Amino acid sequence: MHPEDFGISTNRWSWFPSNWFTNSVLAVKVARFGSESVTQLTVECLVQFAPESAGVFWSMLCLPSVCFRRKLRRRALKICASVRAILTPCLLLFATTLFAAAPEGQVVEDFNSGPKPSWKIKKFQGATQYSITDLDGEQVMMAFSNKAASAIVFKREYSLHDFPVLSWRWKVRNVISKGDYQSQGGDDYAARVYVIFPHRFFPWTRSINYVWANRMPKGSHSPSPYTARSVMVAMQTGPENTGSWITERRNVREDYRRIFGEEPPAVGGIAIMTDTDDTGGSALAWYDDIRIEKE
């Protein structure tokens, strides 16, 4: 038995309320087949046409109101009881599965199996050395920079409306003593994790850089001395927490709204960088457990 045997449309836009009357008439047709047929039909609709058959189920629950003959009305009441008995636990199971399947977050990279192929090198001046190493019982990404600046970029498109939060953990050996967020000559950071918002016209590309700074006030943000379209947000400042793993969690959507004054476009990638080219110094940092999450 199939829903179309009863003349039930599977057009997803044909259901309640726009075609309530039509589906009610079809439900009356169903009543003539008896509760056993309805039971089979209900299961078939749930399995194959769950979204499209909602109007039919609604109509069947309202079946007694459209059955004017007494005998047919009594039969309709029995059928409604059968439908309710089957439909209610099925819908509860469907809803439970739906919400259980909705992910609370996704791992971008944990480096446990080495770096994923989506990581690409982006060079600016020289080359920061990136390598997987075992540290504190975990595989992590190590970055060592000596008068150099290059990033590794994980190309990943997603919406901040789906996953507004970015979390990660990091550790640095040292901060950059000559670092100065207000000058080009001091635009170096022991560690950065940044979110890229690409534009088809590259100079309009934006980014938010979450940095481990030298003297930038913690929690503050400031445009890069090179371009206002790249903004630094100080997650850590100074040497206080050097040598310790620090876990960070940031609502990127709210940061974008506050910094740029508008709704964020789609994210195009997440990058990490340890850079020392402007100050001519050196820095060592470790990165791990990069995730995107719901609020």
pLDDT in tens, 251-288: 999 999 999 999 999 999 999 999 999 999 999 999 99
CA distances from 216 to 146, 179, 202, 225 (A): 22, 9, 28, 13
Residue type, 62: C
User: In this prediction, what percent of the chain has a pLDDT beyond 90?
Assistant: 63
Give one DSSP letter per residue of 172-211, joined into a string. ES---TT--TTSGGG--EEEEEEEEE--SSGGG-EEEEEE
Q: Is the pLDDT assigned to residue 37 strictly greater than 90?
A: no
Q: Is the pLDDT assigned to residue 24 strictly greater than 50?
A: no
Residues 30 and 121 occupy one common structural domain: no
Structure tokens at 35: 């509760």
* pLDDT at site 181: 95
Residues 94 and 118 occupy one common structural domain: no
Structure tokens at 75: 């039969």
CA distances from 148 to 167, 172, 189, 190, 273 (A): 26, 17, 11, 12, 10
Q: Is the pLDDT assigned to residue 114 strictly greater than 70?
A: yes
Beta strands 230-237; 206-213: pairing state: parallel
Q: Is the pLDDT assigned to residue 53 strictly greater than 60?
A: no
* pLDDT at site 89: 61
Residues 286 and 150 occupy one common structural domain: yes
Q: How far apart are CA 63 and CA 79, in angstroms?
A: 9
pLDDT digits (tens, 9 = 90+) for 155-173: 999 999 999 999 999 999 9
Other CB atoms within a 10 A radius of the CB of residue 240 amount to 9
* pLDDT at site 136: 84
Residues 201 and 73 occupy one common structural domain: no
Residues 176 and 220 occupy one common structural domain: yes
The residue among 192 and 15 whose pLDDT is bigger is 192
104 confidence band (pLDDT: 50, 70, 90): confident
pLDDT digits (tens, 9 = 90+) for 58-97: 444 444 444 445 555 566 556 556 656 665 565 455 544 4
46: closest CA among 242, 29, 38?
Answer: 38
Residues 262 and 180 occupy one common structural domain: yes
Residues 150 and 169 occupy one common structural domain: yes
189: closest CA among 216, 172, 211?
Answer: 211
Other CB atoms within a 10 A radius of the CB of residue 95 amount to 10
229: closest CA among 195, 198, 205?
Answer: 205
Length of the chain: 295
* pLDDT at site 92: 52
Among 54, 85, 101, residue at a domain's last position = 101
Residues 87 and 116 occupy one common structural domain: no
Structure tokens at 71: 């005998």
Residues 191 and 216 occupy one common structural domain: yes
Residue 45 burial (10 A CB sphere; 0-12, 13-18, 19+)? buried
Helices (H), the chain: 20-31, 35-49, 54-61, 70-101, 252-260
Q: Can you tell me the mean pLDDT for 186-202?
A: 96
248: closest CA among 209, 275, 284?
Answer: 209
Residues 77 and 132 occupy one common structural domain: no
Q: How far apart are CA 133 and CA 135, in angstroms?
A: 6
Q: Can you tell me the mean pLDDT for 109-124?
A: 95
pLDDT digits (tens, 9 = 90+) for 217-243: 999 999 999 999 999 999 999 999 999
Q: Is the pLDDT assigned to residue 19 strictly greater than 50?
A: no
Positive or negative torsion for Cα 82, 84, 88, 91 = positive
**CATH label of the domain that carries residue 251:** 2.60.120.260
Residues 156 and 49 occupy one common structural domain: no
* pLDDT at site 295: 84
Q: Can you tell me the mean pLDDT for 13-33?
A: 41
pLDDT digits (tens, 9 = 90+) for 203-213: 999 999 999 99
9 confidence band (pLDDT: 50, 70, 90): very low
Residues 132 and 61 occupy one common structural domain: no
* pLDDT at site 137: 87
Among 81, 101, 121, residue at a domain's last position = 101
226: closest CA among 285, 194, 265, 185?
Answer: 185
Domain range for residue 54?
A: 3-101
> Is the peptide bond prior to 164 cis by the omega test (within 30 degrees of 0)?
no
Among 62, 79, 101, residue at a domain's last position = 101
* pLDDT at site 38: 46
Domain total in the chain: 2
* pLDDT at site 208: 98
